[in-house]
Amino acid sequence: MKENREKYENFKARINCEITGKPAQIFLDLKKRGLVTSARDAVVQGLTCLYEKVLQRDLQEAQLKASRRLSEDEP
């Protein structure tokens, strides 16, 4: 895990916002359950989860395209 931190150490983004409604309720519930410790933790976990889902979807699309190409090439 430390290697990943060192790899991305130079990247920084400042996020300063107020959330209301359902997202705020979700944050407070996750914090109450101890699943996130702070707003920063919630943002990091949320972005990581979203990014993993996007990568998974991209992989599935690439696999589907490759499968279609193979099907088209078959006699």
What pLDDT score was predicted for residue 22?
A: 98
Interatomic CA distance for residues 5 and 69, integer angstroms: 39
Band (pLDDT 50/70/90 cuts) for residue 73 is: confident
pLDDT digits (tens, 9 = 90+) for 9-67: 888 999 999 999 999 999 999 999 999 999 999 999 999 999 999 999 999 999 999 99
Q: Is 64 a domain residue?
A: yes
Q: Higher confidence at residue 30 or residue 1? A: 30
Question: Looking at the 3D structure of the chain, how many domains does it have?
Answer: 1
Give the distance, in angstroms, between the CA of residue 43 and the centroid of all CA atoms in the same chain.
10
Q: Residue 60 sits in which domain range? A: 19-73
Q: Is 28 a domain residue?
A: yes
Q: Is 7 a domain residue?
A: no
Nearest to 15 by CA among 47, 49, 51, 37: 47
Query: Model-level pTM?
Result: 0.74
Q: Is 56 a domain residue?
A: yes
Cβ contacts of 30 within 8 Å, gap of 6 or more: 36, 42
- Output DSSP code: residue 38: S
